[in-house]
Amino acid sequence: MPLLWNLYYNVPMLSRFTQNIIPLIIACALFMENLDGSIIATALPAIARSLNTSPIHLNLAITSYMFSLAVFIPLSGWMADRFGALTIFRAALFIFMLSSAGCGFSQNLPELVICRLFQGLGGAMMVPVGRLVLLRTVSKANLVNAMAWVTVPALIGPVLGPPVGGFIVTYSSWHWIFFLNIPIGLLGIILATIFIPRVREENPGPLDISGFILMALALAGLVCGFESIGRGILPTSIVVLMLCSGAVFLGLYIRHTHKLAHPIVDIQLFRIATFRAAAIGGSIFRIGIGALPFLLPLMLQFGFGLSPLHSGMLTFASAAGAMLMKFSAARIIRRFGFRRVLTINTYIASACILGIACFRPTTPHYIILGFLLIGGFFRSLQFTSQNTLTYADIPPQLMSKATTLSSMLQQFSLSLGVGTGAMLLNFTLGHQGNMTMQANDFWPAIVGVSIISCMSVFFFIPLKPDAGSEISGYPLPPQAVVKRAEP
């Protein structure tokens, strides 16, 4: 008991075992959140039949989750500072788990939508606060490996969701899609209580209520607007209104921050070169990644005529590639440094997205599997590098604000990716006059998002060669060492 007590309250005493298991706890929580977000799309028709509603109306279950996620993410950093990261992380797991059970027991659409709103609240706190726990408990020397583990769920969840959802709907009941979160959530709460120490800021500052309202409205409008582009769910006028209102509220928030010492989202963080490059460049790169889970299953199912389960088994290859990367990321970054890895790997990962445009119905499946495996490896390497470099030069007192802003940008860029992919696909369908999707309709959208992802390289090229070297262990050039030694 004394050892457990010290482990619980004394961060410097954290053992190597504890520093290795904490990323796994965070990764499992993020995997639950990412899997849930993608698995429901596959089960929408089955849920619609069960609740006696149309699949189009049931899309509210997805939109309500995204809305809640966008609204509450800005609050996560201040909550973690005020009440402690461990307390908020456990509370987020509990809310997500309880609302998942509510979704499974829902008898109609309003009940499901309400439960999904609470799920979004849990997810909004779970993702950025989980990263904050990681940053405050794992040493800098072990941060690249830790981030590699945390990056994997973001890649596995979207590709594993469709086959798991298809399997559950085919051989069981859609309710189990949500019930799966209960044992994962319980295990996460228990392990977090045992292994994660209590860490909190001494002076979190006052809550910026006006800023929270402005930023929540801005994110809600932008995320929901981009999520709806090209899907035909909402009238174009409504989508444009959401995007415009989101942009207006964002402008009002930026103006609002000039008057405050403690804004809820600190845009002054962009003055830090490594944060600016990783956050903005990484967001641009994620547009392509955000579009893939939307475009690739559609291409394999509607364009190539594969079943949802068969399609899911093929796309799972990219998740396997992400897992393989976990064992190599730290050595690659230590050998070549963040700047070189991010610059060169941007071209490689974007080329892997571009190569998907060459797939045809006659392409052998082993070639598709191999290509997606390689693509998953390099995309995961890019995610790990970006996510780690984001926090390389952030002062400890600004860490919670950095995780909040980074999480907002990631969520926004993934939504923008889905919207961009859908918009490009619909443009191609309209231009060619096709009423149904065919194999040749997908390559323009895939080429488009790959070009957008490649444009992120312009934010990585200006980085210094030794950017983030304290974390990566990349050796400094001799002239840089001499310069640092000078008084």
So where are the chain's domains?
1-203, 208-261, 265-487
pTM for the model stands at: 0.79
- What is residue 455's DSSP assignment? T
User: Using an 8 Å Cβ cutoff, are 263 and 257 in contact?
Assistant: yes
- What is residue 342's DSSP assignment? H
Same fold, 1-203 and 265-487: yes
Task: Give yes or no for residue 341 having a pLDDT over 70.
Answer: yes
Task: Give yes or no for residue 342 having a pLDDT over 90.
Answer: yes
How far is it, in rounded angstroms, from Cα 381 to Cα 389? 12
- The CATH code of the domain at 265-487 is 1.20.1250.20
- What is residue 205's DSSP assignment? -
Number of Cα atoms under 13 Å in the Cβ half of residue 221: 19
**Residue 461 backbone phi and psi in degrees, to 5:** -60, -40
Class of CATH domain 1-203:
mainly alpha
Which of 208, 196, 333 has the alpha carbon at shortest distance from 259?
A: 208
**Mean pLDDT within 243-256:** 91
> Between 367 and 163, where is the model more confident?
367
Q: Residue 486 burial by CB count (10 A; 0-12/13-18/19+): exposed, middle or buried?
A: exposed
Window from 104-108, 205-209, 267-271, 365-369 with minimum mean pLDDT = 205-209
User: One-letter amino acid identity for 261?
Assistant: A
Q: 118 pLDDT band (50/70/90 cuts)? A: very high
How far is it, in rounded angstroms, from Cα 18 to Cα 377? 27
Q: Residue 452 burial by CB count (10 A; 0-12/13-18/19+): exposed, middle or buried?
A: buried
> Between 272 and 171, where is the model more confident?
272
> Mind listing the pLDDT tens digit for each residue in 308-320?
677 777 877 777 7
What does the pLDDT read at residue 339?
92
User: One-letter amino acid identity for 185?
Assistant: G
User: Using an 8 Å Cβ cutoff, are 314 and 365 in contact?
Assistant: yes
What does the pLDDT read at residue 5?
35
Task: Give yes or no for residue 207 having a pLDDT over 50.
Answer: yes
> Mind listing the pLDDT tens digit for each residue in 35-59?
776 677 667 667 877 888 766 566 6
Task: Give yes or no for residue 409 having a pLDDT over 60.
Answer: yes
